[in-house]
Amino acid sequence: MSSAEAKEERTDEIEAQTGGAARAKRLRVDDGSRDENQDKIDYTKAGLYWDNVDATIDGVLGGFGYLTDVDLKDSHAFFERQPALADRTPRPGTLACDCGAGIGRVAKGLLLDYCEKVDIVEQCKKYTDASWKYVGKEHIREVLTLGLQDFKPRPDTYDLIWVQWVIGHLPDEALVAFLGRCVASLKPGGLIGLKENNCKPEQKTVLDDEDSSITRSDAEFRRLFAQAGLTVSHEALQTGFPQGMFAIRMYWLAPAEPEPVASEGEEGK
C-alpha cells in the first residue's frame, strides 16, 4: 500500500468513527505536523507490557506508587476550581468515567468524591478484574475491558470524564476521534479533563519503546485538542513530584467557540 493510500485508509477509519465532522478536520489532521513517533505506537505491544505489570498502585504507577497521594491532592485542588465541583459532594445520579483506569486508583481516590458512580474503561483484563474489589462494586456502574480507541460511549451519559496517564498510548488520529466521542457522551454541563506528562516543547514527542507510548509536549496536546474542537478552559501543573521527571499538566477541556463565518459580501475585506 502506498503512503497516500495508507493515509486515506486512516482518514476513512476516523470518519467511520466520528462521522462527517472528521471530514472537515481531514486537512488539519494531515497538515504535515504529524510526528513520526505516532507510527511506533503498537496496541498489542502495549497490552503485553501492561499484562506483565502487577495489578497494584505501585504497578500502574511504574514503581512510583508512593506519589499517589501527592498526585490526588493536586487533582482535588484542580477539580475544585470548577464551580460545579467546588463543594466536593457526589450528587445522586451522577456518573463519572475513568479512562485508562488501571485498577481504578483515580476512580476511588478522586472521581467518587464528585460523582455517585463510575464507569471503568481499561484495556488490561487483570486490572479490570482487580478494579471491582479495589474501587468497590457498589460504586461501579460498568467495567469495560477495552482500549480507548474502541470505546464508543453513548450520548448524554457522563457528568465527568477523566483521562489520566493513558492517552500517550493513542496515536494522534485515534486521540482526536476518542475526544470527539467523549464530548458527545457528556450530559449537559458535563466536564472532561486530562492529566498527562508533558515533554519539552522542542521535543514534540518522546517515545517509550518499552510500553509503546509517547509523551507529548503541551503544544502538541493543544494542537490535538483544537482538532477535536476543544479548547483548554483551565490548566494547572502538578507540584511536589521529584526533580528530573516530566512536567505533569492537568487540563479542563471545553468545546471551542465556533469561528465566525464571514457573511456574504464580507469575504476578502
Ligand X SMILES: C[S@@+](CC[C@H](N)C(=O)[O-])C[C@H]1O[C@@H](n2cnc3c(N)ncnc32)[C@H](O)[C@@H]1O
Chain residues that interact with ligand X, rule: CB under 6 A? 43, 46, 50, 60, 100-102, 105-106, 122-124, 127, 147-149, 164-166, 169-170
Record the cell numbers describing residue 95, joined without a space. 456518573
Record the cell numbers describing residue 203, joined without a space. 521535543
Q: If you ran DSSP here, which 8-state letter would residue 136 be given?
A: -
Nearest to 241 by CA among 69, 5, 50: 69
CB of 233 to ligand X, least distance (A): 22
CB of 260 to ligand X, least distance (A): 37
CA distance 178 to 199: 22
CB of 269 to ligand X, least distance (A): 47
CA distance 17 to 10: 11
CB of 266 to ligand X, least distance (A): 45
Cα distances (angstroms) measured from residue 2 to each of 8, 9, 29, 104, 210? 10, 11, 18, 42, 29
Query: Would you say 131 and 122 are in contact if contact means Cβ atoms under 8 Å apart?
Result: yes
Nearer to ligand X, 171 or 190 (CB): 171
Q: Please list the residues that pair with 199 across neighbouring strands.
A: 217
Nearer to ligand X, 126 or 141 (CB): 126
Nearer to ligand X, 94 or 164 (CB): 164
Nearer to ligand X, 77 or 86 (CB): 77
CB of 110 to ligand X, least distance (A): 9
- Name the residue with the smallest CB distance to ligand X: 102
Nearer to ligand X, 165 or 252 (CB): 165
